[in-house]
């Protein structure tokens, strides 16, 4: 992969960074609460990262793989059911935040509007939020609903980084085609961090590098 490409794939972390990532996630992760309104947010007293992604992108699987907890983040098979912002502690230094899956056509309009309002308030008003990770399915690339969430992150001045999921499900030629589409879409977003991460929760691909990256944000 040429470094001259816009939004290159992130290089593998060095041994010191990998160890910092391992130690951070070895401290254990626990569910704190699900939030449905801004007044329910826990105190902004530690570094925070959040994960966003459309339905079935593999968000719960990624959070579980990072934390080494099989059922920490629960995947819902019912479209639009989970409309809470879920907070998890990571040791005593971090919050990992799981944003509700978006892009559910089946969710009632009123539910979607309420969720969008909460999401906007959270993203624009959370001073401890260091980075958002936007998950993109390697089989499908960036869709219109992803573009909407990225525009919201631009407007909220929240740096976001794209994490490609399910990389093991796509052959290299098809993957390169999808990556080209992703890079083109990201070029329109000023808040996009200029490196991509490639992951597979099932195979463990990229998990250690993502842990190291999160530990490096402190």
Range 15-216 classified under CATH 3.40.50.300: yes
Per-residue pLDDT, averaged over 190-216, amounts to 97
Give the pLDDT confidence of 87-117 residue by residue, as tens digits: 999 999 999 999 988 876 566 788 778 888 8
Residue 1's pLDDT is 43
Residue 66's pLDDT is 96
Residue 84's pLDDT is 85
| Pairwise CA distance, residues 218 & 215, whole Å | 6
- Among residues 51, 59, 108, the alpha carbon closest in space to that of 79 is found at 108
- Among residues 74, 66, 50, 67, the alpha carbon closest in space to that of 158 is found at 50
Helix (H) or strand (E) holding 160: strand 160-165
Residue 197 · residue 53 · CB < 8 Å: no
SS (H, E, C) 93-112: CEEEEECCCECCCCCCHHHH
Residue 2's pLDDT is 42
Residue 140, SS3 per DSSP: coil
Q: How far is CA 185 from CA 146, 170, 189, 193, in A?
A: 10, 20, 8, 13
- Among residues 62, 52, 150, the alpha carbon closest in space to that of 101 is found at 52
DSSP 8-state assignment for residue 7: S
Per-residue pLDDT, averaged over 174-195, amounts to 97
Residue 106's pLDDT is 65
Residue 25 · residue 211 · CB < 8 Å: yes
Q: Cβ–Cβ contacts within 10 Å for residue 120, how many?
A: 13
- For residue 57, pLDDT beyond 70: yes
Residue 75's pLDDT is 64
Give the pLDDT confidence of 58-71 residue by residue, as tens digits: 999 999 999 998 88
Q: Could you tell me whether strands 85-90 and 160-165 are parallel, antiparallel, or unpaired per DSSP bridges?
A: unpaired
């Amino acid at each position: 992969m040429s470094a001259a490409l816009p939004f290159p794939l992130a290089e593998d972390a060095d041994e010191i960074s990998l160890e910092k990532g391992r130690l951070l996630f070895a401290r254990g992760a626990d569910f704190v609460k699900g939030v449905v309104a801004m007044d329910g947010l826990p105190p902004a007293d530690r570094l925070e990262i959040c994960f966003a992604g459309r339905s079935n992108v593999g968000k719960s699987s990624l959070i579980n793989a990072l934390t080494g907890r099989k059922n920490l983040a629960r995947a819902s098979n019912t479209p639009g059911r989970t409309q809470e912002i879920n907070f998890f502690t990571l040791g005593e230094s971090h919050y990992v935040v799981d944003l509700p899956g978006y892009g559910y056509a089946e969710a009632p309009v009123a539910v979607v509007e309420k969720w969008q309002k909460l999401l906007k308030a959270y993203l624009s008003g959370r001073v401890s939020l260091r980075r958002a990770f936007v998950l993109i399915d390697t089989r499908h690339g960036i869709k219109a609903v992803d573009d909407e969430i990225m525009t919201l992150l631009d407007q909220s001045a929240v740096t976001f980084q794209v994490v490609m999921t399910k990389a093991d499900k796509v052959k290299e030629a098809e993957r390169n085609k999808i990556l080209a589409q992703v890079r083109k879409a990201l070029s329109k977003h000023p808040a996009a961090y200029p490196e991509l991460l490639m992951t597979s929760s099932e195979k463990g691909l990229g998990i250690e590098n993502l842990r190291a990256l999160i530990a490096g944000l402190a």
